[in-house]
Amino acid sequence: MAENKYAIGKLRNIGIIAHIDAGKTTTTEGILYRTGLKHKIGAVHEGETTTDWMAQERERGITIVSAAVTCFWKGYQINIIDTPGHIDFTAEVERSLRVLDGACVVFDGKMGVESQSETVWRQADKYGVPRLCFINKINQTGGDFYKSLESIHNRLTRRAFPIHLPIGFEQSISGVVDLVSMKAYTYKDFTDHELIESQIPADMKQDVDRYRSLLIENAVAEDEKLLEKYLEVGEEGMSEAEIRLAIRNATLTGKFFPVTGGDGRGVIVEKVLDMVTELLPSPEDRGNTWGTHPKTGDEIERKPSVSEPFAGLAFKITTDPFVGKLAYFRVYSGKIQAGSYILNSSTGEKERVGRIVRMQADKREDVSEVDAGDIAAIVGLKGTTTGHTLCDPNNPIVLENIIFPEPPVSIAIEPKTKADQEKMGIALQRLSEEDPTFRINVDDETGQTIIRGMGELHLEIFVDRMKREFSVEANVGQPQVAYRETIRKDNIEAQGKFIRQSGGRGQYGDVWLRLSQNTAGKGFEFINAIKGGVVPGEYIPAVRKGIEEAMSNGVIAGYPVVDIRVELYDGSYHEVDSSELAFTIAGSMAFQAGFKKAGPVLLEPIMKVVVVTPENFMGDVIGDLNSKRGRIESMEDLTAGIKEITAYVPLGELFGYTTNLRSMTQGRASSSMELDHYADVPNNVTEAIIAKNGKK
């Protein structure tokens, strides 16, 4: 059993995040090779990579599930999570950032900042994750370090500063100049085994001086003591150690971003590893974690120390074909030992920790304990899912959960044969445990099994995985849109009165509700405004239950109702005949009556669509988006002859869009989309949806 004990200050938990195809997985491969975990660098296009180990990832050349890898560099332990770049798998990025301390953002040096680069950057901002930038592929035709840096400044932040400058251009790149040590590091071929220290090329002197001054000046600005010294003695009076400290302190604020560039397969990755260990935070640097007591709700603080009680967060569940269910977790305080008992404070259940494993992508290494700050996986936890807190049973704490967006795309799925029926249920259950944005429900009216996800590709991958991993053959229906219903009038009053006399004890429930719009995205709000006991307290939960039942099946076309405020303000009851059932039915009746009077509207998901296309196809692309009820938001020049179009388009118009776009542009355009907001459906479209659903 391997034990690799590293002091918490020598731990780095980092994510590799980027737009699809920027080279995240290749960079991770380069890191594994340079740290001695691999004998050669696997190529994504040849399906040889370590972290893209699923069959679908290897076939499509994209990352679908984030994979955790542990490697070691110059006395440091680095836990790396390679995350997907495709927007359909945004949950993977979201959950990874929640448990990481730092990130390396990879950019395609030929494209600069792309649409998904912005999304992952915003996600990292949301969690306050310090990061460094790696501009990849600058040694390929069209690669340009300075143009990519400019696009980072224009689209993400002005606070990104090179710490290395490339020597040469495109294929002639032969190393970097380190702006801190003021030395050049060169190679003959980018795959060389070591960097050679050499003199800074004379023709770069001017650029080196300018970028070094910018780097130091902006780094010291984040640290009062160093700023004072800098103002006294200037750049020349500061030692290399002080400059490195200033850059590290500035990076840890999450508002200053060191930049380097090169080829993710090359020896230059060693410089990226140096930056990770020198500049990105350890769990100690990230400070204490806060949670709440599961019973009292009191705030609790935990220090990142082994002497504290154990607290950890399960951030990912996977089904491993060899060992079964794996729960990836991050330890925030204390330590966890194989064979011990832990409490899942999110469910209140105790679980036994069988095996603890450290993951080398899809390979496992058993360890007997994991200390504060580290990331590992537990084999065989039964009731644990993503976002659950695991802790010491004698010191319970609930850490902040991970919130995921609602999936907007759904399809009906049915097993091909009777033999597939049972297997399909098990497969869907396992897959939904792995991905919180993959949901399953059964349509009460049709009896169909409906699966929901973040996009067509997302669902396609899941159907494919069912076939490969669980041997389930399934028929798939057309994608459906997750419409919603809401109201556009306020203070609409309605009564629901349910009376039934049929010999013996009757039923009696009577309520008055007031319906109003709620802020978009706020959901359902119930207000109990009953005075004087006209509706007894024990029946009020029943009224709420009736309202919620009615909301699950709206009156326009049977879609769930959202963003509504309901006030229960009056009613009456019968001493003998009133019951919870009667008030549940009365609540449901009153809600339906009020909803019909309150200006009901249908809402549809609106997607933010970003299309990158050669200029000569721009007219066709814009015309096509307009024909889909799209609203063009902006058009920008990315590089010479390449345009980026941002538009807002209803999801219902976008099925099959990727395929259509490719055929329209001879396969040269690409697109990405993400759910942006819900908006009212135009009347003519509403009528078509009602007709299709058979609702009046």
Quickly list DSSP for 532-561: TTSS-GGGHHHHHHHHHHHHTS-TTTSPPB
Write out pLDDT tens, residues 262-305.
888 888 889 999 999 999 999 999 889 999 998 888 899 999 99
428 and 345 in a common domain? no
User: What separation in angstroms does the CA of 271 have from each of 104, 195, 650?
Assistant: 12, 9, 45
507 and 518 in a common domain? yes
Q: Please identify which residue in the block is written with the tokens 């504290």.
A: 308
Closest to 678 measured CA to CA, from 593, 606, 620, 589: 606
Q: Which residues of 257-281 are buried (b: 16+ CB within 10 A; e: fewer)?
A: bbbbbbbbbbbbbbbbbbbbbbbbb
Q: Is residue 392 part of a domain?
A: yes
Strand ranges (DSSP E) for 458-503?
474-481, 484-487, 492-500
Residue 694, classed as helix, strand or coil, is coil
Q: Which of 598, 615, 649 is the last residue of a domain?
A: 598
Task: Provide φ and ψ at 660, rounded to 5°.
Answer: -60, -40
Q: Is residue 3 part of a domain?
A: no
Are 678 and 602 contacting, i.e. CB atoms less than 8 angstroms apart? no
**Helical H segments across 374-436, by residue range:** 418-434
Q: Is residue 522 part of a domain?
A: yes
Q: How far apart (Å, rounded) are the C-alpha atoms in residues 677 and 439? A: 19
297 and 225 in a common domain? no
Give pLDDT, residue 297.
84
Q: Is residue 2 part of a domain?
A: no
Are 67 and 51 contacting, i.e. CB atoms less than 8 angstroms apart? yes
User: What separation in angstroms does the CA of 80 have from each of 54, 68, 76, 375, 585?
Assistant: 18, 6, 12, 9, 54
**Which CATH number does the domain housing residue 650 bear?**
3.30.70.240
Q: How far apart (Å, rounded) are the C-alpha atoms in residues 424 and 407? A: 21
- Total-model pTM: 0.68
Task: Provide φ and ψ at 266, rounded to 5°.
Answer: -100, 180
Give pLDDT, residue 658.
75
Instruction: Give long-range contacts, CB 8 A cutoff, 24+ apart: 460-467.
Output: 461/56, 461/64, 461/88, 462/431, 462/435, 462/438, 463/413, 464/56, 465/54, 465/56, 465/431, 466/424, 466/427, 466/428, 466/431
Side-chain-side CA neighbours of 470 within 13 Å: the count stands at 24
Question: Mean of the per-residue pLDDT values for the chain?
Answer: 84
* CA 529 distance to own-chain centroid: 39
**Which CATH number does the domain housing residue 507 bear?**
3.30.230.10
Look at the chain and report how many structural domains it folds into. Answer: 5
For 652, left (φ over 0), alpha (ψ -120 to 50), or beta?
Answer: alpha
18 and 80 in a common domain? yes
Closest to 117 measured CA to CA, from 638, 683, 576, 600: 638
333 and 295 in a common domain? yes
Q: Is residue 659 part of a domain?
A: yes
**Which CATH number does the domain housing residue 470 bear?**
3.30.70.870
- Please, what is the end-to-end C-alpha distance for the chain in angstroms? 66
Q: Is residue 656 part of a domain?
A: yes
Q: How far apart (Å, rounded) are the C-alpha atoms in residues 194 and 584? A: 74
**Which CATH number does the domain housing residue 297 bear?**
2.40.30.10
306 and 259 in a common domain? no
657 and 556 in a common domain? no
Q: Please identify which residue in the block is written with the tokens 């500049």.
A: 279
Residue 513: its H or E element: strand 507-517
Q: How far apart (Å, rounded) are the C-alpha atoms in residues 193 and 474? A: 49
Q: How far apart (Å, rounded) are the C-alpha atoms in residues 585 and 440? A: 27
Q: Is residue 404 part of a domain?
A: no
540 and 641 in a common domain? no
382 and 448 in a common domain? no
**Which CATH number does the domain housing residue 59 bear?**
3.40.50.300
Q: Which of 481, 507, 525 is the last residue of a domain?
A: 481
Q: How far apart (Å, rounded) are the C-alpha atoms in residues 226 and 174? A: 34
Are 147 and 639 contacting, i.e. CB atoms less than 8 angstroms apart? yes
633 and 586 in a common domain? no
Q: Is residue 395 part of a domain?
A: yes
Q: Please identify which residue in the block is written with the tokens 């935990």.
A: 302
541 and 431 in a common domain? no
Give pLDDT, residue 185.
93
Q: Which domain holds residue 307?
A: 289-399
Q: How far apart (Å, rounded) are the C-alpha atoms in residues 338 and 320? A: 19
Are 449 and 457 contacting, i.e. CB atoms less than 8 angstroms apart? no
Q: CB neighbours (10 Å) of residue 483?
A: 23
Residue 525, classed as helix, strand or coil, is strand
Write out residues in the chain with pLDDT < 70, as ranges: 1-5, 20, 37-67, 82-96, 115, 320-321, 360-363, 403, 405-406, 443-447, 479, 502-504, 639-640, 693-696
Q: How far apart (Å, rounded) are the C-alpha atoms in residues 659 and 570? A: 56
242 and 117 in a common domain? yes
Q: Which of 560, 578, 598 is the last residue of a domain?
A: 598
